[in-house]
Each structure stands twice: as C-alpha cells, then as structure tokens.
Amino acid sequence: MLQQTQYDLFNDLVHRNEYEKLKSVLVCDFKDELTFILNTFLLLSPSNYMKLFHLNKCPSPVVFAYNTGCHSTTQYSPFQLLFGREPKLPTEAPLSTFTFRKPNDYYEQLKKSMKLIHRNAHGNITNKQHQYKTRYDKQRADPHYSINDRVLIRKHGLRNKLEPKYSVTPQIIIQVKHPVYVVKDETTQCETQVHINDIKPIYVSKLN
C-alpha cells in the first residue's frame, strides 16, 4: 500500500510539474487577453471613473474570481476540479487543527473527492450540452434534400462585397449523406462535397 501511494505521488508530482509549465503559459496568455479586453472596455466606457482604475491590477482579481467561482456548466469551480476541495478565501479564518486517523487519510479522501467531483462535473457538462443543442435546434430549420434537386452552394474564400455569396451556376445533388451532400455542376460537371449549411435551394422535389 505504501509503495503504491509513493508511486502515485511520484507520478502526480511529475505530471504536476509538466502541468505547471503549461499552466504558466496558459495563464499568461489568458491574462494578456483579459488585459486587452479590459483596456478596450475602459477606453470605450463613457464613465470617467472607470478610467481611474489601474489596468495592470485588474487581471489578478478577475482571474482569482474566475478560478474560485462556480461555473454554470460544471457546477464546480476550477479550483475544486484541480484540488478536490473548496477554495479557502482570504476572508476566511484558517483552521487551527487537523485530525487524521492514519497517515494516508488525506490522500485517500483526496482521491475519493476528485473522483466524485470529476464524475459529477462530467454529468453536468453532458446535461448542459444537451440543453444547448435542444435550444439551438429549436431556432433553426432542418432542411433535407433529395437526389436531382437543384441547389446553389456557398462560395468560400476571399471576395469583394459585390460578388454573390452563392454559386451562379446551379448544382445538382447526386449523392445524399445528410448533413453532407455531393453536388455536380451543371456546366463543368465538376463534383463537390458540401455541408448542408452551405446549400441554398432552388427547387426541392419533396416537401419536408
């Protein structure tokens, strides 16, 4: 048991060192982006008192609030997901005593807490994704096309504002794998695979 615990702690230390290197880069990028957003907001703000803030001191409190606040998707804070416990805020009084029945009690409790939190967070994320998808599907149409339907396809790439968004030459659907379709140009006979979001109907043979 002791050897397994030492092995787990060693692996955790190795992975944590690599994580800390990556985290330092991610945190710097996050703070830089946050500083840019705050600078833009303060410059556009009509209130004079907003411009009195020291911009170099804004990111740290915001990042602290982000890391210790409960997120609506996971229902946990990033601190809980990483350390398996509630964060201790500066305003809270520190605990004076700690009681452990066995030397590895804290480690065992930490593993149980991390497993429970990650399982619940995964379930919460899945539920939120389902809610977002259901809400999104209610706001958009779900067209289906059939073989030999004549459609136009969206033109991608650089173009000026006066150019049409869709192809001028009609395309004929020759293969259906909803939501992906294979179309053929009526003039050049060139076949193209397109997503349904890039299709605009000219004539649909069946009413959906």
49-79 exposure pattern, b = at least 16 Cβ within 10 A, e = fewer: eeeeeeeeebbeeeeeeeeeeebeebbbbeb
Final residue before a domain boundary, out of 113, 138, 163: 138
Claim to verify: residue 48 and residue 117 sit in the same structural domain: yes
- Is the pLDDT at 200 greater than 80? The verdict is yes
- State whether 190 and 124 are in the same domain: no
Give the model confidence (pLDDT) of 31-75 as tens digits. 667 666 666 666 655 554 455 455 555 567 777 888 888 888 899
Q: Looking at the structure, do residues 124 and 198 belong to the same domain, yes or no?
A: no
Same domain, residue pair 61 and 100: yes
Average pLDDT of 3-25? 49
Same domain assignment for residues 39 and 127: yes
pLDDT at 15 over 50: no
Residue 208 lies in a domain: no
Domain with residue 158: its CATH number is 2.30.30
Asked if the structure places residue 143 within a domain, the reply is: no
- How many whole angstroms separate alpha carbon 171 and alpha carbon 148? 9
The residue from 91, 108, 138 where one domain ends is 138
Q: Are residues 155 and 134 in the same domain?
A: no
Q: Which long-range contacts (CB under 8 A, 24 or more apart) does 172-177 make?
A: 172/148, 173/145, 173/146, 173/147, 173/148, 173/149, 174/147, 174/148, 175/147, 176/145, 176/146, 176/147
Q: Number of folded domains in the chain?
A: 2
User: Which tens digits make up the pLDDT trace of 17-33?
Assistant: 444 444 454 455 666 67
Domain of 183, in residue numbers: 150-203
Q: How confident is the model at residue 119 (pLDDT cuts 50, 70, 90)?
A: very high
Residue at 67 is within a domain: yes
Would you say residue 170 lies in a domain?
Answer: yes
- 40 domain residue, yes or no: yes
pTM for the predicted model, two decimal places = 0.51
